[in-house]
Structure 1
């Protein structure tokens, strides 16, 4: 029979120095702190309310146990606890214009904003938010709703310190559509960019040429699954000479953190376009050449938390 270890060998977590405890807690996501860690004991609860703990707010994991309204309430509380010190925020699978505006109104020091699979943000909302984030340096909009060139232009104009921009979409197997609006908005309004990722974009060589002209400080450029771009001849040589870290349209996607499988084309195609759709019809339907083709969660197990969400998270 094994001899039980001496109780003195067990570390009392409450005796850890405050900075060590803070370092441990900072490795948790905001939801884990608000719904678990801060309930451990009074010292941890007090530490979890310190604004310095909320300079970074990440809510990026799948949260199937929470409905959207609960996630938004938790995000607002995390932002409020920062007391204006927030510099880095990432939200995934939830959020809208109202939440973004709350973040912007409360976080004038924000330098990094990451939105992943957030579908309820409008052009107008993003443009208004941009005006309140003059210090923003990194913007990541991945697998979200499509944004117009006006919204992207506003981000560039209002955020003059923007050095990293990711605008990633789902790639399609056959590049029927071509559109350089995103590329031109970047080229004309984001001259200080050092890093640019346009995964799955429909830009052409003309759009890429504009980016190279308008963003002279660009060091890294990711064009994976941008299947309208052909890096050959003079353009290929220029990219190789001007860009230190270049990811080409057909480069491996093994290190891409999202689903990189190319989708099949929408609907049934006859030739290059949907059956019965002429070049003229396609042009009329969208200035970029796009054609508009026309188990709920059970939260009963979490009803005990509903009152908890209506107020402060302890």
Structure 2
């Protein structure tokens, strides 16, 4: 009688299940563990389809810029032109941004929060990434309405834009609608728009609402220049989910920026501005 063996022939697993296993691993496990299991797994890990979606925001938020640069280049190279999704935090090197644009023309989802983007970089960058449907340029302080205009003209399939700001970066600055107007005039196909802590007024928001006819979601939390009751949202735009400008517990949920700590932010505000001046910003 043959005794059943507990031995599992890992090298005989078909590629689809292996791909599913691969997709669930951390970036460290994908790079340093999975390829060492056996020869066939090593071969799988080197195939471009395993690198069509690269999500390393958590990893990059805790590493130095030069480490991030090397990792991004390495992973984009592994994708061999098949990259569909790239999420990375704080890219600082223009060289790496150019490398992404030149080697990831199939990108559809791109998240680059707190990266070293500029109006000039965005002009060259987005001209080669026309397939993008979802873009996150939150907390990128060097870009403005010119970059958003360029994005709209080059990325005509764009449906999701995240352009959140940090309250410390916009504190005590004048209201201005230039970015809102650039979005309204150049991104008519938007369905989802996040613009927390922007310095907009009702003028900018009304222009967006009247120009982006497919809009379904609009996040205005922390946009203190917007008076929702004057827009008559329920009557005029009943199909759009509009959040804000009241913040609720956005900080307590850590939604505003990956890697931030709410207690650190509150300590900063209390020390530099007096926490009582920010009473309307938070639920503490």
2:154 matched to 1:155? no
Q: 2:242 and 2:182 mapped to 1: Cα distance?
A: 21
Q: Deviations over 1:245-287 (max 9, x none)?
A: 2212115324726357677499679xxxxxxxxxxxxxxxxxx
How many residues align? The count is 263
- Using structure 1 for the length normalisation, give the TM-score: 0.74
2:112 matched to 1:115? yes
Q: Mapping of 1:1-314 within 5 angstroms?
A: 8-9=5-6, 11-63=8-60, 66-118=63-115, 120-171=116-167, 177-238=174-235, 240-243=237-240, 245-252=241-248, 253=250, 254=253, 256=255, 258=257, 259=260, 264=269
Q: Which has the higher contact order (CA 8 A, sep 6+)?
A: 1
Larger radius of gyration: 1
Q: 1:211 to 1:238 in 2, by over 3 A?
A: farther
Q: Structure 2: which 5+ residue stretches go unaligned?
A: 275-284
- Using structure 2 for the length normalisation, give the TM-score: 0.82
Could you say what secondary structure the match of 1:99 adopts? helix
Q: 1:128 and 1:64 mapped to 2: Cα distance?
A: 25
Q: 1:20 and 1:268 mapped to 2: Cα distance?
A: 54
Instruction: Report the Cα offset of residue 76 of structure 1.
Output: 1.1
Q: Deviations over 1:85-127 (max 9, x none)?
A: 1111011133432212111111211111101222x22221122
Q: 2:222 and 2:256 mapped to 1: Cα distance?
A: 14
Q: Deviations over 1:128-186 (max 9, x none)?
A: 11111111100011223341211110000001110110001112596652121110110
Greater share of residues in helix? 2
The residue aligned with 1:297 is: none
Range with greater deviation from structure 2 (206-215 or 36-45): 36-45
Q: Structure 1: which 5+ residue stretches go unaligned?
A: 1-5, 270-314
Q: 1:30 and 1:46 mapped to 2: Cα distance?
A: 17
